[in-house]
């Protein structure tokens, strides 16, 4: 029987998926008024940082100071993958590739990365349920990423894969380094993110943000950037990073829905079947094998049964 901690972590991961699914549709609306992907990625991070700094300086200054002193290096490493690789390459992919395809490809790559990196860090082979779930995720992605999308720009597809790999590394390392899930942590994450994202922003000509774009950029900063990231970090503090990654694979389902409602982008039957297979991968990992593998993993693994303790040792 699942405990309250797992249920809360799973609900937060689903909420993160819903919030993150808005990235594509909001970004596309900014591209339509002429903004470059590098500018969108930088400004959404900058505005989110300004909002959080206003809060942390007033209410969480000591917490922010302690984090900056003790975890500056680990947070900076996590953020290279979690903000630079994710935000920059994901945003660039949306410019040429269908929103749903980008999200499915991103999460397929991050799922495989999460499982492989956790196995490497724990010095073990993939568990059977991890292997089966990963294979199902690949099959689902293969269906989504079918010849129906052959008109998409290949570079955009590569960008989506890179962003997925970065996100998978971030999920694993943030758990390993115990970066935390409070507002101080998120503020530091966004601060380093602005530094990393300023580099491609500068190379693309330091584009000024128009007044017309400000409300949309602010929405992008609040919903997925602050809300999505906070829910992901909080979920990571409650359940395993593999669980968070698989549950957040529901994001493509929400992305398909949002892209149809707001952008009129139609999903094919093949895409829907692929999405269903990916959802089954979540069920397979989290529920079907949960009790069957619990005792076996405890005996096979030299580490603690707790998901948190598992990555601390």
Neighbours of 269 (CB within 10 A): 9
What is the DSSP secondary-structure string of 42-109?
HHHHHHHHHHHHHHHHHH-HHHHHHHHHHSHHHHHHHHIIIIIIIIIHHHHHHTTS-HHHHHHHHHHH
Question: Mean pLDDT throughout 36-54?
Answer: 91
Q: What is the mean pLDDT of the chain?
A: 79
- Both tokens assigned to 244: 């968070």
pLDDT of residue 286: 67
Q: What is the pLDDT of residues 235-293, one digit of tens each?
A: 888 888 778 867 877 787 788 888 888 888 776 788 778 778 877 877 777 665 454 44
Q: What is the pLDDT of residues 128-161, one digit of tens each?
A: 888 888 888 788 877 866 654 444 456 888 898 8
Question: Mean pLDDT throughout 43-57?
Answer: 89
Q: What is the pLDDT of residues 215-224, one digit of tens each?
A: 999 999 999 8
Please name which of 158, 194, 165 lies closest in space to residue 79, comparing C-alpha atoms.
194
Long-range contacts of 27-32, Cβ-Cβ distance < 8 Å, separation of 24 or more: 27/91, 27/94, 27/220, 28/94, 28/99, 28/263, 29/216, 30/213, 30/216, 30/217, 30/220, 31/94, 31/95
Whether residue 124 is predicted with pLDDT greater than 70 in this model: the reply is yes
Whether residue 43 is predicted with pLDDT greater than 90 in this model: the reply is yes
**pLDDT confidence band for 300 (50 / 70 / 90):** very low
Please name which of 117, 166, 109, 164 lies closest in space to residue 141, comparing C-alpha atoms.
109
pLDDT of residue 200: 92
The answer to whether 225 and 44 are in contact (CB under 8 A) is: yes
pTM: 0.73
Question: Mean pLDDT throughout 157-173?
Answer: 88
């Amino acid at each position: 029987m699942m405990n309250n901690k797992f249920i809360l972590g799973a609900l937060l991961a689903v909420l993160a998926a819903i919030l993150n699914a808005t990235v594509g549709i909001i970004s596309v609306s900014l591209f339509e008024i002429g903004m470059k992907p590098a500018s969108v990625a930088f400004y959404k991070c900058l505005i989110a940082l300004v909002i959080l700094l206003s809060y942390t300086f007033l209410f969480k200054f000591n917490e922010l100071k302690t984090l900056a002193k003790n975890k500056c290096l680990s947070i900076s490493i996590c953020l290279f993958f979690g903000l630079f690789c994710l935000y920059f390459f994901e945003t660039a992919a949306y410019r040429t590739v269908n929103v749903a395809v980008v999200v499915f490809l991103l999460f397929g790559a991050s799922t495989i990365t999460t499982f492989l990196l956790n196995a490497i860090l724990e010095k073990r082979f993939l568990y059977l349920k991890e292997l089966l779930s990963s294979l199902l995720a690949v099959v689902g992605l293969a269906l989504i990423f079918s010849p129906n999308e052959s008109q998409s720009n290949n570079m955009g597809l590569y960008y989506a894969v890179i962003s997925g790999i970065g996100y998978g590394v971030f999920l694993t390392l943030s758990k390993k380094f115990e970066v935390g899930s409070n507002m101080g942590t998120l503020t530091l994450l966004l601060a380093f993110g602005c530094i990393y994202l300023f580099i491609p922003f500068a190379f693309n000509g330091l584009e000024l943000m128009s007044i017309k774009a400000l409300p949309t950029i602010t929405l992008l900063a609040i919903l997925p950037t602050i809300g999505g990231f906070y829910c992901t970090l909080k979920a990571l503090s409650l359940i395993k990073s593999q669980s968070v990654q698989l549950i957040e694979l529901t994001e493509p389902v929400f992305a398909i829905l949002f892209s149809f409602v707001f952008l009129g982008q139609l999903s094919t039957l093949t895409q829907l079947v692929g999405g269903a297979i990916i959802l089954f991968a979540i069920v397979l990992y989290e529920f079907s094998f949960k009790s069957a593998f619990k005792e076996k993993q405890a005996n096979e693994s030299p580490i603690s049964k707790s998901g948190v303790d598992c990555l601390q040792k």
